[in-house]
Amino acid sequence: MSSLEDERLARVALVAVSEPGDPRVADQVTTFGALEAHDRIMSGYDVEGLQTDPDVRRAVTDPAATLARAAELGVRFVVPGDAEWPVQLDDLAAAPPLQSRGGVPLGLWVRGPVRLDQLAGSVAVVGSRSATTYGADVAADIATVVAETGRAVVSGAAFGIDQAGHRGALAGGGTTVAVLACGADRVYPAAHRQLIEHLAIHGAVVSESLPGWSPTRPRFLSRNRLIAALSVGTVIVEAAIRSGALNTANWAERLNRHVLGVPGPVTSGPSQGVHQLIRSGAATLVTSGEDVLEAVGAAGEHLVPEPRGRERSRDRLTTRQQQVLEAVPAVRAAPDASIARTAGLALAEARGTLAALAEMGLVEQEAGGWRLAALAHE
C-alpha cells in the first residue's frame, strides 16, 4: 500500500476519534504528518488539550471499513496530496482558531461529480436562515451572475439565503457545492432533501464529518470555516446580529478572503449584521453579481460600469449656452433682445448662441422670437 493510502486511513481514523475543526488535531497533523500524529494520538501520547478523548471512540473505529462503507454510499474521502484536494484550504493552517475551531481539515468527504480542485475561483453566498424574500431574491440573482461566469457557488444548503444561493447558481447553469455540518451522506435540513440530492447528482455535497454523523452546533461552526476557506470571496446577504453567516464572514476575513456585504433596508432586522460589517469596514458593499465579480476577479477583469443618470440634451452645453437657454421661455416666444437682457449678455452674443442652440434643436424660432423646443424639455 502506498504511503498516501496509509495516510488516508490514518486521517479517517483521526476524523473518527475527534471532532471536526479541533485545532489541536490539525496542529499535530501539520507538525508531525498524518501518520505520526495518528500514532501519537491513538497511543494516548500527547493528547492533552484535545476536545475529545480518543479512547472513547477508538474501539469502534475501523478506517478501511469506514472508507468502504462510504464508497458504497457514493462518498469519497479527499485528503491533502490528492489531485482533487482544494489547496486553498491549506491557508487555514496559518489562521488562528475562532471559537475553538480551526485548522486544515483532515480530509473532506465528498458526494457528487464536481471535483473540489475546480472550486479555486468559487464564491460563497451565505446569510440568514430567517431571510426575507428580498434577501433571497438578491442572493439568487448574485449567484446566477456568478455561476454564469463559470465560477462555482459554495453555500451551506440551509434555509433562506443558502438555498437561494444554490438555486440561483443552478438557474445560471453553473456549478454549486453545499458544505454540510452532518455527514455527506445525510440530509440536513430534512426539508431540503430534494435540493441536496440534486446537488449530489449535479454538483457536490461536502463535509468534514464522518458519514452518518449528525449536525451539532460546534460542527456548524467548523463547517462555516470551510465555506469561507473554499471560496475566494464570501457574500453575506442577510445576517442578524447573532448569525452563523457572521461567523463565516469572520473566517473569510481571517483568511484574507473578500468579505462582501449586501445591504438591506436600514430598518430591517435580518440586515443589521451585514450593515454592522460594512460600517466597521470588514465588508465591502456590493449590490449585484457584477459588483461581486469585480471584487473577486483579477484586477480589471470584471469592471462594473459606474452607474450614472441618463445623459440629457443640456449636459454638454457650455456655460454661455446654458445661460442663454435658461433665459428662453418655455411656452410663449420672446424676442432676442429680451432673452439677451435676461441672460445678461450682449445682444450679438445672445443671437449667436441662440443660433447655435437652434442648430442643436434645443430652441426654435417663431414669429415673436425664440422659445424652447421639445428636446430641451427632456
Nearer to another protein, 16 or 140 (CB): 140
Q: Smallest distance from the beta carbon of 195 to another protein, in angstroms?
A: 6
Nearer to another protein, 21 or 160 (CB): 160
Contact between 375 and another protein (CB under 8 A)? no
Nearer to another protein, 140 or 295 (CB): 140
Q: Which stretch binds another protein (CB under 8 A): 30-38, 45-53, 126-134, 312-320?
A: 126-134
Q: Which stretch binds another protein (CB under 8 A): 31-39, 247-255, 262-270, 272-280?
A: 262-270
Total binding residues toward another protein, as defined by CB under 8 A: 35
Question: Pattern 26-65, binding to another protein, x per CB under 8 A?
Answer: ----------------------------------------
Give the dihedral of Cα atoms 343, 347, 353, 359; nearest 10 deg: 120
Contact between 309 and another protein (CB under 8 A)? yes
Among 268, 284, 313, 365, binds another protein (CB under 8 A): 268
CB 274 within 8 A of CB 241: no
Q: What are phi and psi of 116, to 5 degrees?
A: -65, -25
- Alpha carbon 314 to its chain centroid, in Å, reads 41
- Tell which residue, 330, 357, 354, 358, has the closest CA to residue 340: 354
**210 DSSP assignment:** P
Start-to-end Cα distance in the chain: 78
SS3 state at 125: strand
Cell 445576517 -> residue: 239
Nearer to another protein, 10 or 140 (CB): 140
- Alpha carbon 115 to its chain centroid, in Å, reads 19
Contact between 171 and another protein (CB under 8 A)? yes
Contact between 242 and another protein (CB under 8 A)? no
Contact between 216 and another protein (CB under 8 A)? no
Nearer to another protein, 23 or 174 (CB): 174
Q: Which stretch binds another protein (CB under 8 A): 4-12, 29-37, 135-143, 210-218?
A: 135-143
For residue 195, list its beta bridge partners.
none
Q: Smallest distance from the beta carbon of 166 to another protein, in angstroms?
A: 8
**181 DSSP assignment:** S
Order of strands across the sheet that contains 176-180: 76-78, 108-111, 204-207, 176-180, 153-155, 123-126, 233-236, 258-261, 284-285
CB 27 within 8 A of CB 94: no
SS3 state at 251: helix
SS3 state at 207: strand
Nearer to another protein, 50 or 372 (CB): 372
- Alpha carbon 361 to its chain centroid, in Å, reads 49
Nearer to another protein, 44 or 173 (CB): 173
Nearer to another protein, 130 or 323 (CB): 130
Q: Smallest distance from the beta carbon of 143 to another protein, in angstroms?
A: 10
Nearer to another protein, 132 or 209 (CB): 132
Question: Pattern 176-215, binding to another protein, x per CB under 8 A?
Answer: ---------------x--xx--x-----------------
Task: Please give the full DSSP string across 258-321, using - where no structure is assigned.
Answer: EEEE----TT-GGGHHHHHHHHTTSSEE--SHHHHHHHHSSTTTTPPPPP-PPP-TTTT--HHH
Among 70, 136, 200, 363, binds another protein (CB under 8 A): 136
Q: Which residues bind another protein (CB under 8 A)?
A: 129-137, 140-141, 144, 159-160, 166-167, 170-173, 191, 194-195, 198, 265, 267-268, 270, 305, 307-310, 377-378
